[in-house]
Amino acid sequence: MPTTLHNTNALYAITDCANLRGAALYSPVQQALAGGCRFVQYRDKSDDKVRRYAEATQLLKLCRQFNAKLIINDDVALARSVKADGVHLGQSDSTIREARQALGAKAIIGATCHSDMELARYALQDGANYVAFGRFFPSATKPDAPPARLSLLTQVRRRWPDCCIVAIGGITQANAELAIQQGANYVAVCHDVCHHPNPTAYARAFARTSAA
């Protein structure tokens, strides 16, 4: 996920699988893709392997229709089985090297770094394609996540000018510009896009922010 890849739109949409199923899950994703979003993360923390496989497979089909990328949250095995474009790893998940070995050289691998630049250093050394920081604002998805200052994004950008940075945690259309101005290439949005009355228009609004 280098800064030159699909940078016509800064929206990195995350599915709200805790509240949406079936058509209610697929519809906002399809609409956001139609609006220009080119990165979707399938995030489901349940242990229903059959449903998760079916949902990830359908989301991948939608992404392929729009030449977009599907990233699987946490689950390297699921990413491999559905042939997704990559995986996003937390600090307690598989290592980046294990994920790379399982998914191959072309896979997009992202790493959660919270507010810790040392975690980012290790992730980048191990071959992460992007590093994610946050939460920067109150988050319904991760209410207990430790807060981070927006100025952290500027520090990361200065230290690693060419790395791909994703801001996550409480990002909405109203505050996304703040994160991008500080150095983020992409902003990860879950609830705000999945429950928006017009996800296509929502995604289009992020085209103007993607010059970073």
Mean pLDDT of 110-114: 96
11 forms beta bridges with 187
Confidence band of 92 (pLDDT split at 50, 70, 90): confident
CA dihedral 168, 113, 5, 184 (to 10 degrees): 50
CA neighbours closer than 13 Å in the CB half-sphere of residue 68: 29
The answer to whether residues 110 and 128 touch, using CB atoms and an 8 Å cutoff, is: yes
> 43 among the known binding-site residues?
yes
Domains located in the chain, CATH noted:
11-209 (3.20.20.70)
> 41 among the known binding-site residues?
yes
> 139 among the known binding-site residues?
yes
> 42 among the known binding-site residues?
yes
Per-residue confidence (pLDDT) for residue 125, from 0 to 100: 96
The answer to whether residues 185 and 164 touch, using CB atoms and an 8 Å cutoff, is: yes
Residue 147, Cα to own-chain centre: how many angstroms?
A: 18
> 176 among the known binding-site residues?
no
> 115 among the known binding-site residues?
no
Tokens 């430790």 belong to which residue?
Answer: 146
> Does the predicted model carry a pTM greater than 0.85?
yes
Q: Return the ∠ at Cα 73 (arms to 79 and 168), rounded to 5°.
A: 145
